[in-house]
Amino acid sequence: MPVADAKTILNNFASTIPATYLGQDRVNYLLENIEKMNSDERTALRNLFNKFLTSTIERDASDIELGGHGNGGYIWLRIFGKKERVKDFSQFTEDESAIIIINLLNTNQRKYLLLTKNLDFSYTYHYERKNSYVRFRADAYFDLDTLALNMRVINLSVRSIDSYGLHPNVLKTLSHTYIKFGLTLITGITGSGKSSTLDAIIDAHNKIDPAHIVIIAAPIEFVHKSNASIIRHREVGRDVLSFKDGVIQALRQDPDIIVIGEMRDPDTIIAAMEVTDTGHKVFSTLHTSSAVESIDRIVAEVHPNEQERIRNRLADVLVAIISQKLVPSLDGKRVLAKEVLLVTPSVKAAIKNNNTSEIYMMINQGASSGMITMEQDLKRLYLSKKISMENAIAYANNKTVIQQILSAF
């Protein structure tokens, strides 16, 4: 269907909103009345949106943004880390954008969005050019009383864990066949590739490990097909009510490996440590930019009266932290920079004694065992001519250290 015809459908439905309705009342009206559109019209609007998703994939974009006050009527894409207006796409009013977004949701999702003003969900469509189904991680939310949507492309394939350049000791630590229990954290800001790293770890086990893997995420992104391992996918809000519930319930599901999409709150953090304590291998993520910050964040999340107990428990169950960033590369794309901490007896003692400030130096001096600081890895990328000196400094956690180690070059 031509865009002009889709625009007519959007305008006709938007015109039914009572003139007295303003702000979120307009969105609420659309949420409650979207099913009054006939099925042909709704299919046409979904097909239009799928064309935008196809263009997103073919432009190598990672994210698409639609709707909301901030978009200014444009659809935006993130291409190699940079947000850009797409001026060759049609522009849409706030009401038109809201209709397109709401049309993607089922009845329960619309009720949830109406109640909570935010909805995480997944979306799948058929990409005809490659005759494959592509999944997107989506978040619908409000922006100055207008409805907005972000969708992130979920890769069609999983990156090999061998491509991460991790030391053999680190790969052993990550492997369930080598270490049967322990908590490993993958950390970084939003958009730093944490989910891709988790998927690479899962895929590596799925090739050789006869284990039961339970993935708890909001939403489920890449869907793994059971091979050597049996893999369960449990989406928060659809298959299970919360991360905490998913972790606790997993204990009754005979798992070997539990993957927690994100440790968002104290209850999930405590549940993750408890399930690790029972002899399971657990992988999860945090929105932190360094190994030391990750440890401090976990302890700070709980009540002060509980912090000493949690610090001791964390020291006992933690086996590794990989902190990562995607840094603009000289070829106009992005390259992974990482910090790796392995929990040695010295690191364990530093955590228990609340001397986490000592851990950075332990990482700095732990290259022989596979550890590396973010600054050391940025130096490696700079010397291999993959990133500029300016970006090495910009993406460093410690500006003083990175300037010192780059001063000789």
Q: Between 266-277 and 291-301, two packed helices, what is the crossing angle to 10 degrees?
A: 110
Tokens of 297: 């964040």
d(CA 333, CA 338): 17
pLDDT, greater one: 155 or 53: 53
In 278-398, alpha helices (H) = 291-301, 307-317, 345-352, 359-364, 374-383, 389-394
Structure confidence by residue, pLDDT tens digits, 375-390: 999 999 999 999 999 9
What confidence score (pLDDT) does residue 219 get? 85
What confidence score (pLDDT) does residue 1 get? 60
What confidence score (pLDDT) does residue 401 get? 93
Domains along the chain? Answer: 3-153 (3.30.450.90), 161-406 (3.40.50.300)
Would you give the distance in Å from CA 195 to the centre of its chain?
Answer: 5
Strand order in the sheet with 334-342: 230-235, 212-217, 257-260, 281-286, 182-187, 318-328, 334-342
Dihedral, 383, 389, 395, 400 alpha carbons, nearest 10: 100
**Contact indicator for 193, 293 with CB cutoff of 8 Å:** no
d(CA 153, CA 216): 19
Say what the pTM is. 0.83
Q: Between 307-317 and 266-277, two packed helices, what is the crossing angle to 10 degrees?
A: 40
Tell me how many degrees the CA angle 107-108-111 measures, rounded to the nearest 5.
90
Among residues of the chain, what percentage have pLDDT more than 90? 87
**Sign of the dihedral through C-alpha 113, 118, 120, 122:** positive
pLDDT, greater one: 208 or 236: 208
